[in-house]
Amino acid sequence: MAAGKRSYDWRFDSGRPCLDLVATGTGTSGACELLDGAERLAEWLVASGLVPGGTRLDAVDDTWVVRFRQLRTGVERLLAAELGGRGAEGALEGVNALAAAAPPGLRAVRGRSGTLVRALSADPECGALLAAVARDVVELLTDPVARAGLRRCEADNCRRLYLDTSRGRRRRWCSSEVCGNRERVARHRRRAAAVAAVDAAVDAEKGADAGAGVLERNLKPVRTDRGPSPYA
């Protein structure tokens, strides 16, 4: 299986590989399950940078999918607990156990253009790739600066976790281009609707005032002091 041919629906704006893995599930983005088979997992491994492009991933099968989903669940539970000031010792134990294994070995090889590119030193193994993600979790949670930037997207219908590296740490959305734009459009629509409602109320009030004036003129008393009729 040659992976990485279709990456049109992947997003990697979370700031860390472990957060990008969490974003593939339905619990954070409200989208469908993205790791829905061995081929899709192989694509994600390359698109995320965990595996160099062009790597053969023939060993990826449904057992890999199950194991990556299990890790994803544990990572999400652990990070959510950290954000909420709670403990998730079971999830932490699982991440630590996976992080204890060795990640994939890397080496530099000459590409077609003669420049050096990354390659794996051996055929990729599921345990080694899981270890790479688990170690990223450990590094994130044990780095005070990185940990302080962990956020959850504030946009409606999005629960993605991301790392806020913006100046002032004021980033509110997992992606300014996606959720940020969506929220700005929604805010503009709400303002436009509010203005339209005020305009409609003013027009209605003006109409009511005009109607009251017409009614007042129609009900004005008839004068009776015009003198006797010449035909009397």
For residue range 92-105, what is the model confidence (pLDDT) as tens digits?
999 999 999 999 99
In sequence order, which residues have a C-beta less than 8 Å from that of residue 77 and are 6 or more positions away?
88, 91
pLDDT at 4: 43
Mean pLDDT, rounded, of the chain: 84
pLDDT at 124: 95
Whether the predicted pLDDT of 8 surpasses 50? no
The distance in angstroms from the start CA to the end CA of the chain is 115
As a whole number, mean pLDDT of residues 132-159 equals 93
How distant, in Å, are the alpha carbons of 66, 113, 205 from that of 217?
A: 81, 91, 19
Read off the pLDDT band of 84 (50, 70, 90): very high
Hey, what are 154's tokens? 């504030």
pLDDT at 56: 92
Q: Is the pTM of this model over 0.95?
A: no
